[in-house]
Amino acid sequence: MHTKIQDKTLGYLLSEIMERGINTEEVIMERVLGCFRKLRKGLTNIEIKEKGLNVYSKRGISFGELVQEGINRNLISWTREDGKEIKELKRTKEGTDFLRAFYTDNYSADFMKFNKQVNELFKKYGELELDPKQIEYLYWRGDHPISEIEKTYINNPYNSEYENEIVEFHEYLSGIKSENLKDDEFIFHFAPKLFLPETWYHAPVRLEIEGLEIQNTLVLNRPYPNKRYVVAGVEKDNGIISHGFYWVKNKKELINNHIEVKLNWFVGKRKKITHKINLSFQFGEHKGKLFSNDQCLSRNTKLKQFEIKTDLSKVDVYEDEFLFCDKAELTHFPMEKHSYFAADKNMDRWETRKRKEAIKQNKVTEVYYNILSSAGLNWEDENIAIIEEFMKKGDANFKDHGGDYGACFDVTYKHNISKEIDEEWLIEKVIEFAKKYKITEFEMWKKYGEGGPYEIGFGIYLEGSLDNPTIKLREVYLGSLEDWNLSWDE
Could you tell me if 457 and 477 are in contact, meaning their C-beta atoms sit under 8 angstroms apart?
yes
Residue 347 lies in a domain: no
CB 241, CB 292: distance < 8 Å: no
> What pLDDT does residue 488 have?
61
Contact indicator for 449, 364 with CB cutoff of 8 Å: yes
Edge-to-edge, what's the strand order for the sheet holding 290-292? 245-250, 185-190, 290-292
User: Does 254 lie in the same domain as 372?
Assistant: no
In a domain, 145, yes or no: yes
Q: Examine residue 357 and state whether it is found in any structural domain, yes or no.
A: no
User: Do 169 and 282 share a domain, yes or no?
Assistant: yes
Q: Looking at residue 450, what is its pLDDT? A: 86
- Domain end point (choices 341, 356, 374): 341
Q: Which of 74-78, 236-240, 311-315 has the lowest mean pLDDT?
A: 236-240
Total number of domains constituting the chain: 4
Residues 86 and 119 in one domain: no
Give the residue-averaged pLDDT of 262-285. 97
User: What phi and psi values does residue 461 have, to the nearest 5 degrees?
Assistant: -140, 155
Reported as a single tens digit per residue, the pLDDT across 390-409 is 999 999 999 999 999 999 99
Mean pLDDT of 251-269: 96
Residue 460 backbone phi and psi in degrees, to 5: -135, 165
**Cα→Cα distances 312→193, 194, 272, 322, 384, Å:** 11, 7, 11, 9, 43
Same domain, 138 and 174: no
Considering the domain architecture, whether residues 176 and 146 belong to the same structural domain is answered as no
State yes or no: pLDDT of 342 exceeds 90.
no
- Spatial contact of 346 and 333, defined as CB atoms under 8 Å apart: no
Domain containing 170 equals 162-341
Q: Please determine, for residue 316, whether its predicted confidence score (pLDDT) is greater than 70.
A: yes
Residue 350 in domain: no
Q: Are residues 229 and 333 in the same domain?
A: yes
149 and 183 in a common domain: no
Domain closes at, from 123, 138, 155: 155
Residue 446 placed within a domain = yes
